[in-house]
Copies of this chain bind each other. A is one copy, B any other.
Amino acid sequence: MLGLNTADLPDNQASRKDGNERIISHYSKVRQLSESLCQPLEIEDYIIQTMPDVSPPKWHLAHTSWFFEQFILIPYLKGYQPFHSSYHYLFNSYYETAGQMWSRPKRGLLSRPTVAEIYEYRHYVDEKIKFLEESMGSAPQWETEITPLIELGTHHEQQHQELLLTDIKHIFANNPLRPAYRTDSNSVEIKQTTIQQTLQWHSYEGGLYTVGHEGDGFYYDNEKPNHQMYLQPFRFASTLVTNGDYLAFIEAGGYKQPQHWLSDGWRIIKEQRWQSPLYWEQKEDNSWWHMTLIGLQPISLDDPVCHVSYYEADAYARWAKHRLPTEIEWEVVAKTLPCQGNFLDSGFLYPISSPKNLQEPNQMFGDVWEWTSSPYSSYPGYRPPAGAIGEYNGKFMCNQMVLRGGSCISSKNHLRASYRNFFPPDARWQFTGFRLAEDR
Which residues of A come within 8 Å of B, CB atoms?
A: 42-50, 86, 89-90, 94, 96-97, 102, 108-115, 171, 174-177, 179, 208, 227-232, 258-259, 261-266, 310-311, 373-375, 377-378, 380-381, 390-391, 395-399, 425, 439
Contacts and interface: CB of A to CB of B under 8 A. Distances in A.
Contacts of A311: 398
Contact of A395 (B261, B377, B397): B261
A378 to B, nearest CB: 8
A308 to B, nearest CB: 15
B42 A175 contact: no
A431 B113 CA distance: 26
Given A45-B112, A96-B258, 5 more contacts: A89-B176, A97-B258, A108-B108, A110-B175, A399-B425
A44 B109 contact: no
A439 B176 contact: no
Contacts of A114: 42-44
A177 B263 contact: no
Given A96-B258, A258-B96, A395-B263, A112 B230 contact: no
Contact of A43 (B44, B265, B397): B44
Q: How many copies does the complex hold?
A: 4
A196 B228 CA distance: 39
A230 B232 contact: no
A94 B109 CA distance: 24
A230 B208 contact: yes
Contact of A262 (B42, B228, B373, B395): B395
A314 B132 CA distance: 40
A259 B47 CA distance: 31
Nearest to A171: B111
B48 A264 contact: no
A378 B439 CA distance: 13
Contact of A176 (B46, B90, B96): B90
Nearest to A314: B398
A391 B375 CA distance: 20
Closest 10 CB pairs of A and B: A96-B258, A375-B375, A44-B111, A230-B230, A45-B111, A263-B395, A232-B380, A43-B43, A47-B47, A262-B398
A44 to B, nearest CB: 4
A306 to B, nearest CB: 21
A112 B44 contact: yes
A380 B264 contact: no
Contacts of A264: 398-399
Contacts of A259: 96-97, 390-391
A43 to B, nearest CB: 5
A439 B380 contact: yes
Contacts of A374: 377
Nearest to A263: B395
A46 B47 CA distance: 10
Nearest to A376: B375
A426 B303 CA distance: 39
A177 B109 contact: no
Contacts of A97: 258-259
Contacts of A390: 259
Contacts of A378: 373
Contacts of A425: 398-399
B113 A177 contact: yes
A55 to B, nearest CB: 14
Of the listed residues A96, A380, A398, A439, the one surrounded by the most CB atoms of chain B closer than 10 A to its CB is A398
A263 B43 contact: no
Contacts of A47: 44, 47-48, 111
